[in-house]
Amino acid sequence: MSYLGRYSRRQFLKGLGVSVTGWSLASFLAACQRAADALSGVNAAEPTKQIAAQGAPANPALNLVNGIPITSNEDFYTVWYSRGAPPAVPVDWKLRIGGLVDNPLEFTFDQLKTLPAVTEMRTLECISNPVGGELISNAMWKGVRLKDLLARAQVKNAGIYLKLESLDGFYTGIPIELGLMDNSLLAYEMNGTAIPRDHGAPLRCLWPGRYGMKQPKWLHTITVVDKPFLGYWEKQGWTNDAFVNPNARIDAPKDFDVVSGATFTLSGVAYSSEAGIAKIEISADDTDKWLEADLTRGPSPYVWTIWKWSGPALAPGRHTLYARVTEKSGRVQTKPQKIRLLDGTYPNGTDEMHSILLDFRA
């Protein structure tokens, strides 16, 4: 989760911008108060819990691997759940796997590192990343496949879900089928070094095709259970699936830039579900004319795509430029909505197109 902590209740009410005809003001404010509390994760039973977030720069100094930008550990976006700094790692930390298994397991950090390891490029995005937002980053990760650990633990037939618990008190759950996928990793290295504290040391989850809310940092316990398990944010009404929505971001030019040449270029990054991206297109001023961009694809659908389009400048004046993703499944991004709660991300993330305004001058 992210950005939610930036909205005061007063800002939330002001941002609604809806009529209160037929309501008493007190009733309206009370209803909005409840909605604001629910959307921002306020829970009377857990009053000290909050989130903090910091986005990655839209154009940080990036390394390239086969043409795909790798975000440095320092620039990678951060989100955490508890009040204060991310948790310190106990000196006696162990990963514990229990519940409906025939062979409960414990691993120290050193023991995990002796197991067969895989290294993968993977993009992470926060479910509350707003349209065109910075809560998305890409890194090289090293770790172990969760399915290998579950095989050692010998999951019982009744085990259908995994309860995941973190050092900061965060918890969530995933279907065991997701944990058994080849691309489901427990990572302990990030960009060639031990995962930094802010990013989940000593161990974090990486599940394919899901938003960050389903991929806990600071993992310490996995419990196999016999029914679906709702996590902290899911209990607040956020999706229990957390599938990534298709989204494209325009990084250059910037909003309200002036274009004075005979040609211009748009470029940015895009990400989608595990269905993969079929094409990225740009358009101007709500027209039905869409023009395909050139793509530099990552090694898997779980990595962002870099896109670029160049063409003749538009007529003098201010124009709105859009970028949209079409997935291989046929799903297409939607146009922006005029009224949006929490940037339109609640409860499933957003698939709205990013747009910028450019001033064209002859």
Distance CA 161, CA 158 (A): 9
Report the distance separating Cα 320 and Cα 255, nearest Å.
Answer: 9
Tokens of 153: 């633990």
Does 194 reside within a domain? yes
Residue 103's domain comprises 88-235
pLDDT of residue 53: 61
pLDDT value of position 201? 97
Residue carrying the six token digits 């595990």: 274
**Of the ranges 20-24, 50-54, 193-197, 296-300, which one carries the lowest mean pLDDT score?**
20-24
What is the β-pairing status of strands 204-206 and 193-194?
unpaired
Residue 49, in any domain of the structure: no
Residue 59 lies in a domain: no
Residue 202 lies in a domain: yes
Say whether both 308 and 230 belong to one domain.
Answer: no
Backbone dihedral region for residue 276 (phi beyond 0: left; psi -120 to 50: alpha; all else: beta): left
pLDDT in tens, 38-95: 444 433 333 234 455 666 655 444 689 999 999 999 999 998 877 677 889 999 999 9
Q: Are both 132 and 35 inside the same structural domain?
A: no
* Same domain as 225, residue 195: yes
> Is the confidence at residue 296, as pLDDT, over 60?
yes
pTM of the model: 0.85
Looking at the predicted structure, is the pLDDT value of residue 194 above 90?
yes
Q: Are residues 265 and 218 part of one domain?
A: no
d(CA 239, CA 57): 27
265 domain residue, yes or no = yes
Which pLDDT score is estimated for 344? 86
Q: Quick one: average pLDDT of 277-297?
A: 96
In which band, very low, low, confident or very high, does the pLDDT at 113 lie, cut at 50, 70 and 90?
very high
- Statement to judge: residues 231 and 259 lie in one domain: no
**Which of residues 172, 207, 235 is at a domain's end?**
235
Asked if the structure places residue 276 within a domain, the reply is yes
**Residue 304 predicted with pLDDT over 80:** yes
Q: Does residue 81 lie within any of the structural domains?
A: no
Same domain for 116 and 31: no
- Judge if 202 and 274 occupy the same domain: no
Are 275 and 349 found together in one domain? yes
Does 136 share its domain with 260? no
Banded model confidence at residue 37, pLDDT cuts 50, 70, 90: very low
Among the listed residues 8, 9, 124, 3, the one whose alpha carbon sits nearest the alpha carbon of residue 52: 3
Task: Assess whether 120 and 189 both reside in one domain.
Answer: yes
Which of 180, 208, 235 finishes a domain?
Answer: 235
Do 262 and 231 lie in one domain? The reply is no
Q: Burial of 136 by CB count in 10 Å (0-12 exposed, 13-18 middle, 19+ buried)?
A: buried
Q: Residue 2: pLDDT above 80?
A: no
Do 292 and 213 lie in a common domain?
A: no
3-class secondary-structure state, position 113 = helix
Residue 143 near residue 189, CB atoms below 8 Å: yes
Is residue 342 within 8 A of residue 7, CB to CB? The reply is yes
Number of domains in the chain: 3
CA quadruple 29, 30, 34, 40: dihedral sign: positive
Would residue 300 count as lying in a domain? yes
Give me the percent of the chain exceeding a pLDDT of 70. 81
**C-alpha atoms less than 13 angstroms from C-alpha of 77 in its C-beta half-sphere:** 26
Q: What's the pLDDT at 62?
A: 62
